[in-house]
Chains A and B, each alone.
Chain A
Amino acid sequence: MVKISKLSDEQLVDYIRGKDKEAYVEIVNRYKDRLVRYATYLTGDNDNASDAVQEAFIKAYINLNGFNTKKKFSSWIYRIVHNEAMNLLRRDNKELPMFKDVDFKSGVNLEEELIKKELQAHARHCLSQMPLIYREVLSLYFLEERSYEEISDILRIPIGTVGTRINRAKVLMKKICQKTKK
């Protein structure tokens, strides 16, 4: 019997398509936290982010046969979530969402590390002030730890543009953070 937890994402997709659609739950479990976190950075709202991710998982399942297993599944699913989040933003017509009280699950116990928490809150606040094009690259690169190539695949922009946007975003982030500290 195949142990689905040991399969790579792409192998798992093949398995779901050919043998057991129930195995899709593994995909959902692997990605839901990071995708909700990413969508929250984009939309600035936890509920909207959950809706976007749920819709993205459904769309991904419907179009699973269209996924090319030679490519990275993570880029594909991030792309779908990105589109869903953009649709939500367009629908709500808010370009620069402000972060409300939002929880993020990470590997670190934030409650015990007060300083880190404050820093993170400050960084999040700065991030929320940034234009969307910079916010998306920054969150993908620094928070989701995606490579330039993956970001290029997710955002459908050339790799050179990814680099440029990240550099500009860093400068902008620094300015915003310094400004809000004062």
Chain B
Amino acid sequence: MPKNKKITRSAADKADLGEKVMAKIRSGQVKMKPKWLFIAGSVLSLAGLIGLSVSAVFLINIVFFLLRKHGPMGHWRLELMLNSLPFWVPVAAIICLVGGIWLLKKYDFSYKKNFTLIVLGFIFSIIIAAWLVDAIGLNERLLKGGRMRRLYQQLEKQEETLPRGRGNGLYRKNIQK
């Protein structure tokens, strides 16, 4: 095919491209999404990110609470922990963290910064926040009153019951005597 013919075809393709796009717009086949949709999207994403962070703080805080509440019997501590720890807590915390990080990555600003640093900072700040909540005694306040009272009391009760593993029945009998 001669070169000039190819150039003509290419130019026609490009002109055609513009016409095709405009024809779709004019016919109403393609419509602009309303502005409120984007505003709602941003607000919901931000709320989701905050919600996930708060949930992660709360769930990690429960782990701190359980760790602290276990008695002075050192050798029983690990077993007690493993038996009474609600494993959904760390799993849910990790899911929340991953979700939060994913949302962070979706945000425009994240690629401009050192992403590893953002992720590490995010995890570190959540653990610190959870530890602070535990250290300032918010758990105790929630245990005594407030909306989360039932959950904390349930966790405390769970911790007081003896481990349900093998041979623990014997241990329970001895204690009861």
Taking CB as reference atom, which chain B residue is nearest A68?
B108
Report which of A17, A53, A152 forms a contact with B32, defined as CB distance below 8 A: A17
Let me know if B111 and A158 touch, CB within 8 A: yes
A24 engages B25 (CB within 8 Å): yes
- Tell whether, in the assembled complex, residue B13 and residue A61 are in contact, meaning their CB atoms are under 8 Å apart: no
State whether B18 touches A25 (Cβ < 8 A): yes
Residues of chain A within 8 A of B37, CB atoms compared: 65
Candidates A57, A103, A157; contact of B21 at CB < 8 Å: A57
User: Which bracket fits the contact residues of B?
Assistant: 20 to 34
| Chain A 108-164 interface residues, beta-carbon cutoff 8 Å to B | 111, 152, 156-159
B window 106-120: CB within 8 A of A: 111-114
Q: Complex formed: what's the CA distance from A129 to B13 in Å?
A: 27
- Given A46-B10, A66-B33, A158-B114: A36 touches B17 (CB 8 Å cut-off): yes
Taking the complex as formed, is B38 at the interface, i.e. its CB lies under 8 A from any CB of chain A? yes
Q: Which residues of B contact A178 (CB under 8 A)?
A: none
A8, B109: Cα distance in complex, Å: 24
Chain A residues within 8 Å of chain B by Cβ, number: 31
B150 adjacent to chain A (CB < 8 Å): no
Distance of B69 from chain A, by nearest CB (Å): 44
Residues in A with CB closer than 8 Å to B14 are 32-33, 36, 50, 105
Instruction: Write the nearest CB–CB distance from B10 to chain A, whole angstroms.
Output: 5
CB distance from B43 to the nearest CB of A (A): 13
A73 CB, min distance to chain B CBs, angstroms = 15
20 contacts between A and B (CB under 8 A): A21-B32, A25-B22, A28-B18, A54-B21, A57-B21, A58-B21, A58-B24, A61-B21, A61-B30, A61-B32, A62-B30, A63-B32, A65-B37, A65-B38, A66-B33, A103-B7, A103-B10, A105-B11, A152-B111, A158-B113
